[in-house]
Amino acid sequence: MMNSVKEILRFFNIPCHIKKLFIRRKIKKYTNQENNSNYFIKLLLGLAILIGGVYLNFTHQNIKLAIGSFITLVFLFFKVSYNNRPLELINDEQDEIREIILKDEDEKIIKNWNIHDYTACLIGKKTQRNMVNIDLSEATYAALVSREHAVMNNTNNGWFFEDIGSSNGSGIKRKQDGKKFKVKPGQPYKMYPGDTIYIANTKLLVK
């Protein structure tokens, strides 16, 4: 009976749902801006190629040299476009995140959560009035974790992590280069399998 009541209260937790919806829309807007920026760069490169082709056509008496130079510009355009393509388009399957793992200082697994079917995960500490998806109440440094510490959102461009104004901050360690950095509250960060999230001093591995 008590579990049913809790589920009903959780379902009608309107402020929590509004907050999650706002964060998801914010991240969607952020990723759209990122894509629009890439399109703008490609447009400028395309215009540069067009202008360069016209210029070469009028300044070079040797038509073969003009054509060769124009082909070189086109090649550079596609090379730059390829190198600046979004990382999530390189290998979607390898970038797919399915699980979050809580580890202690000795890298021992304490708990894990399957998030494959989630659209958003609220990270924090569960209380009677605060329902979270990733509950860190059992973590060694649980006292440093805010009740609503951070959120992860699953968008068309992959999973994004964002600190939502926690008291003790968050950090990320990249698997690719081993670099660790502190995140800015309110700023979404793309996550990749093997990255480590630091919720204050608590380590979460994303896989």
Instruction: Convert the pLDDT of each residue in 178-201 to its tens digit.
Output: 999 999 999 999 999 999 999 999
- Closest Cα partner for 77 from 31, 41, 126, 104? 41
CA separation for the pair 65, 37 (Å, rounded): 33
Q: Where are the domains of the chain?
A: 1-85, 99-206
pTM over 0.85: no
How far is it, in rounded angstroms, from Cα 200 to Cα 183?
A: 11
CATH architecture of 99-206: Sandwich (2.60)
Q: Please give the chain's pLDDT, 207 residues, in tens.
A: 555 544 544 544 545 555 555 555 554 454 444 445 555 666 676 667 667 666 666 665 556 666 666 676 666 666 655 555 544 443 445 568 999 999 888 888 999 999 988 999 999 999 888 889 999 998 999 999 999 999 999 988 899 999 999 999 999 999 999 999 999 999 999 999 999 999 999 999 999
The residues, ordered by sequence, that sit 6+ positions from 68 with a Cβ below 8 Å of its Cβ are none
